[in-house]
Amino acid sequence: MRKKIIAGNWKMNKTPKEAVELINMLKTQVDSNIVDVIFCVPAIDIIPAVEALKGTKIAVGAQNVYFEESGAYTGETSPAMLKECGVEYVIIGHSERRQYFAETNETVNKKVKKVIEHGMTPIMCCGETLEQRELGVTIEFVRTQIKGGLAGVDGEDVKRMVIAYEPIWAIGTGKTATNDQAQEVCGAIRTVVSEIFGKEVANEVRIQYGGSVNGKNAAELFAKPDIDGGLVGGASLKAEFGEIVNY
Ligand code: PEP
């Protein structure tokens, strides 16, 4: 039985002071005993977030990382830096990073491997555009993203990973995929993982749905057999995140 996992993606929101205020409000609303809960905060908020979450079961995640160990990469954050600050999860390949920062399946793959090497858990994102959905190529496109992102990763490590299926047309738009649309693609992701790494790995890897998840639609989405929780953007910055976690 896979444990549900619900992560908030704060994106580029909240200064360190605001982050601590939000955490102090949310930690009283969120029951992290039954599901795994993660706050993926901006890099500058990681240290105060880890401090503010001490004594709780809520983990801190980062929203990006670089795939080199150190050196002349101005503006980047290394995996060792994140690890030392107490980061447990790292979002990799979010569609906003693919769109605005030229992230590709190849860079996603390098980052996934580095994050695993440093003992953190990747939350690897995938998902199609509206145009791809309308053209009927969603499954094919997502399968390619999964194959590229997981190339050369050890099956034992894939078991402990999180994959987030986020249709781009549903992110931040208020347009959620139907439960069946979300299940269809999450099921297809589990199938491709099974083809590459075998059934045991596919049964253990956790697959989230993301895209306008809210307090009203969370329970039905998370009840689907291949959806093991959610990656939540907008609603993770409000008390509503508590409703999602306590679905
Ligand atoms: C996201 O940013 O990963 C996301 C799913 O955003 P939202 O919940 O706002 O659609």
pTM: 0.98
In short, whether 166's Cβ falls inside 6 Å of ligand 1 is yes
Confidence band, pLDDT 50/70/90 cuts, at residue 33: confident
Contact between 229 and 35 under an 8 Å Cβ cutoff? The reply is yes
Please name the amino acid found at residue 6. Answer: I
- Which are the catalytic amino acids? 94, 166
- Distance of alpha carbon 47 from alpha carbon 55, whole angstroms: 15
- Distance of alpha carbon 169 from alpha carbon 229, whole angstroms: 19
Token code pair at residue 126: 């995938």
Query: pLDDT value at position 1?
Result: 87
Return the residue whose CA atom lies nearest to atom 1 of ligand 1.
233
Closest ligand 1 atom number to CA of residue 164: 3
- Distance of alpha carbon 184 from alpha carbon 161, whole angstroms: 20
The continuous run of DSSP H or E covering 25 comes out as: helix 16-26
Q: Which domain holds residue 202?
A: 5-245
In short, whether 171's Cβ falls inside 6 Å of ligand 1 is yes
Instruction: Tell me how crowded residue 154 is: count the other CB atoms within 10 A of its CB.
Output: 12
- The DSSP output letter for 72 is S
Tell me how many domains the chain contains. Answer: 1
Among candidates 128, 122, 71, 74, which has minimal Cα distance to 98?
128
Instruction: Dump pLDDT digits (tens) for 144-194.
Output: 999 999 999 999 999 999 999 999 999 999 999 999 999 999 999 999 999
- Distance of alpha carbon 8 from alpha carbon 17, whole angstroms: 18
Q: Ligand 1 centre from 71 Cα, in Å?
A: 32
Query: pLDDT value at position 154?
Result: 98
Q: What is the CATH number of the domain that holds 28?
A: 3.20.20.70
Token code pair at residue 224: 């689907």
3-state SS class at 63: coil
